[in-house]
Chain A
Amino acid sequence: MELEFEHKPAAHCENGVIANMLRFYGFELSEPMIFGLASGLFFSHMPFVKMAGMAVTSFRTFPGVLFSRVSKVLGFKIKTRRYLNEEKAIADMDKILLSGTPVGCVVGMYYLPYMPLEYRFHFNGHNICIVGKDEQTGNYQVSDPNAVEKVYISKRDLMKVRFAKGGTYPLFGQMYWVESVPEKLPDLDSLVRKAIKKNCWLMTSQPKWLPYFGVNGIYCLSRRIRNWEDTMGPRKAALNLAQVIRMLEEIGTGGAGFRYMYGAFLQEAARVTGVEELNAFSVRITKIGDLWREFAYKAARVFKKRQGEQYTYEELSEILGRIAVLEENFYKELKRVV
C-alpha cells in the first residue's frame, strides 16, 4: 500500500518532513516559511559538548524543536512515541501507516542504505517519513528530504536506523504523526511577525556571561578559533576546523544555507505582512550568508592548502568577528520593523 504522498527534497531534513507532511494534509507551506515560523535560526558553539572528541557547533535550534514549535503555532496536534521494544515500534508504525497516516521517524544516518558510504557517520538526528509499505517484500517506502525521489528500505534496516546506538544520543525508535489538523490555517500575518520577533530575541537576548549561544556564540568561536593552532597543534586544529565546516555545510544545511533560507523566508514574510522593509532585510541576511560561505571557503584553504593561497586562523577569526557584528545589528534592527 502506498499513500498519495508528494515528495519534495528539502535543504533540511526536519523542515522537509514537516513541509511534505503538511502538504499531504492539504496545507501548502514552503520550507523557508516553516523554518521561519519555527524561529529556527540559531547559533551555538559548545566547547563542553563533544562529538567525536570535538566541540559541537550548531547553526540551528536543537533537533525536534522546529517540529514542536511549528505544530504549536499552526494548531496541528502531533503525537510522539518512543519505544524500548523494537518489534513493537515496527508493529505500531504499521498500524498507523495502514490507517492512512504518514509516520515521521528520527533515525541514525549510519545504516541508511541509500546514503553515500562516506556520509554514513554516526549521526543520530536525521528525519525521514514513512509513506508506504510493499506487502510482498515487506519493504517500506520512505520520503527522505535529502533524496530527490522516494526510496525503499527493508524492515531490518529500518529497525537498525530507528534504534541507532551511540553513547551520548541513542535512539529509541522515536516516531511522530499528525493526529488532527485545524480546519484552516490561522492568520499568517501575526504569526510571521511573532516568529520574527522571537527569532531576534533568541539570537540576541543572552547575557554576556553566557557566551555559547546566539550571536554571543559567534563572538566566542571567533575568539577561540584564533588560538587553535597554538593550543591544539596544526593537525588537531585542522580537524576541528573541518568539523566546523562540516557542521556549517553538511547536507546543504548549515550556516550559510540557513541564512539563505531565512532570506527566502523574509521575502515571503514581506508578501504576507505587507512590510516592505523585510525585503531589504532579506538582502542583508543574504550578504551575511555570503560572508559565511567566504569563511567556509577560506577555512577549507587552511586545512587543505593549495598553492599560492595562504590564509591563517587569525583571518578566519576576523571574518567571524565581522559576521558577529553584522548579525547582531541585523537582529536588533529587524526586531523594530515587525
Chain B
Amino acid sequence: MKIEDVPQDLKYFKNTIIRDVTYAVDDKGNYRSVLSDGWSVKNDALDVTLDDINEECESIRQRVLAGETSPLEYHAAKNFMGIDLLSDYTGISKRTIRKHFDPNVFSTLDEKTLNRYADVLRISIDELTSIPE
C-alpha cells in the first residue's frame, strides 16, 4: 500500500485520541508508519455488528413495552452484556438476574441493587428503570 492510499475515513475515532497506525511505502518504496483516521471497510464491519445488537435491543424494547420483561434486560443488551457477563461484573447470581428480568420483581428492587446494576452498566438509576422512547 502506498502512503497516499492509506485510508482516512473518520467515523468512530471522531473526538477521540485513538488512531490507527499503518505501515505504507513512499515513492521510493521505503516503508514508513502513517497515522490513519480509520477505514470505511472497518467502519462498515462494525456497523453490521452494531446494527445486529440494535435490532435485538429494539425487540427487547418492544417486549418491555408489552410488560413481558424489565428494562434491565434492555440496558444489558445495549451494553453488549449477556446474562453471564452481567452476573460476573455485578456479583449477582444468574438465577437472581433472571428473576429481575420480571418487571414485577424489578419494580420492587431496592436502591442498593439498582445501584449495582447502574454502576456496571455505566448509567444512572433513572436511566436504568426506564427505556428510551
**How many Å lie between the Cα of A304 and that of B23 in the bound state?**
27
Interface residues on A, range: 35 or more
**How many Å lie between the Cα of A279 and that of B27 in the bound state?**
15
Structural contact, A116 and B25, CB atoms closer than 8 A: no
Structural contact, A286 and B1, CB atoms closer than 8 A: yes
Interface residues on B, range: 35 or more
8 Å CB interface, A78-128 against B: 110, 114-116, 118-122
Binds A, one of B10-18, B66-74, B97-105, B108-116: B10-18
**Complex interface: chain A residues within 8 A of B12 (CB):** 116, 118-119
B131 at the A interface (CB under 8 A): no
A239 at the B interface (CB under 8 A): yes
A-B contact count (CB 8 A): 124
B49 at the A interface (CB under 8 A): yes
Structural contact, A165 and B89, CB atoms closer than 8 A: yes
8 Å CB interface, B53-84 against A: 80-81, 84
A3 at the B interface (CB under 8 A): no
A147 at the B interface (CB under 8 A): yes
Among residues of B, the one whose C-beta sits closest to the C-beta of A265 is B31
Given A243-B49, A290-B1, A264 and B42 contact (CB-CB distance below 8 Å) = no
Within the complex, which residue of B19, B80, B88 is in contact with A146, where a contact is CB–CB below 8 Å?
A: B19
Structural contact, B23 and A264, CB atoms closer than 8 A: yes
**Complex interface: chain A residues within 8 A of B40 (CB):** 300
Structural contact, B46 and A246, CB atoms closer than 8 A: yes
Structural contact, A9 and B48, CB atoms closer than 8 A: no
Structural contact, A289 and B1, CB atoms closer than 8 A: yes
Among residues of A, the one whose C-beta sits closest to the C-beta of B87 is A165
**Complex interface: chain B residues within 8 A of A260 (CB):** 1, 22-24, 31
A250 at the B interface (CB under 8 A): yes
Among residues of A, the one whose C-beta sits closest to the C-beta of B30 is A267
Nearest-Cβ distance from residue A88 to partner chain B, whole angstroms: 19
Given A165-B88, A260-B1, A119 and B45 contact (CB-CB distance below 8 Å) = no
Main secondary structure of the interface of A (DSSP, over half): helix
Given A239-B48, A239-B49, A267-B30, A252 and B17 contact (CB-CB distance below 8 Å) = no
Structural contact, B31 and A264, CB atoms closer than 8 A: yes
**Complex interface: chain A residues within 8 A of B88 (CB):** 165-167, 170
**Complex interface: chain B residues within 8 A of A132 (CB):** none
Structural contact, A303 and B25, CB atoms closer than 8 A: no
**Complex interface: chain A residues within 8 A of B125 (CB):** none
**How many Å lie between the Cα of A296 and that of B20 in the bound state?**
17
B92 at the A interface (CB under 8 A): no
**How many Å lie between the Cα of A49 and that of B74 in the bound state?**
28
**How many Å lie between the Cα of A238 and that of B18 in the bound state?**
27
Query: A144-179: contact bitstring with B at CB < 8 Å (1 yes, 0 no)?
Result: 011111010000000000000111001000000000
A32 at the B interface (CB under 8 A): yes
Nearest-Cβ distance from residue A192 to partner chain B, whole angstroms: 16
A317 at the B interface (CB under 8 A): no
**How many Å lie between the Cα of A236 and that of B94 in the bound state?**
27
**How many Å lie between the Cα of A300 and that of B47 in the bound state?**
10
**How many Å lie between the Cα of A266 and that of B14 in the bound state?**
34
Nearest-Cβ distance from residue A125 to partner chain B, whole angstroms: 16
Structural contact, A118 and B50, CB atoms closer than 8 A: yes
Nearest-Cβ distance from residue B127 to partner chain A, whole angstroms: 15
Structural contact, A238 and B48, CB atoms closer than 8 A: yes
Structural contact, B35 and A148, CB atoms closer than 8 A: yes
Nearest-Cβ distance from residue A59 to partner chain B, whole angstroms: 14
Structural contact, A119 and B18, CB atoms closer than 8 A: yes
**Complex interface: chain B residues within 8 A of A147 (CB):** 17-19
Structural contact, A252 and B22, CB atoms closer than 8 A: yes
Nearest-Cβ distance from residue B25 to partner chain A, whole angstroms: 7
Structural contact, B41 and A263, CB atoms closer than 8 A: no
Binding site for A on B (CB under 8 A): 1, 12-14, 16-25, 29-31, 33, 35-36, 39-42, 44-50, 52, 80-81, 84-85, 88-89
Q: Which 10 pairs between the two chains have the least Cβ-Cβ distance?
A: A252-B20, A165-B88, A264-B31, A242-B48, A245-B45, A11-B21, A300-B41, A260-B23, A242-B45, A249-B42
Question: Could you give 13 example pairs across A and B, Cβ below 8 Å?
Answer: A31-B33, A167-B88, A245-B45, A246-B46, A249-B45, A252-B21, A252-B36, A260-B24, A263-B25, A289-B1, A299-B41, A300-B41, A300-B44
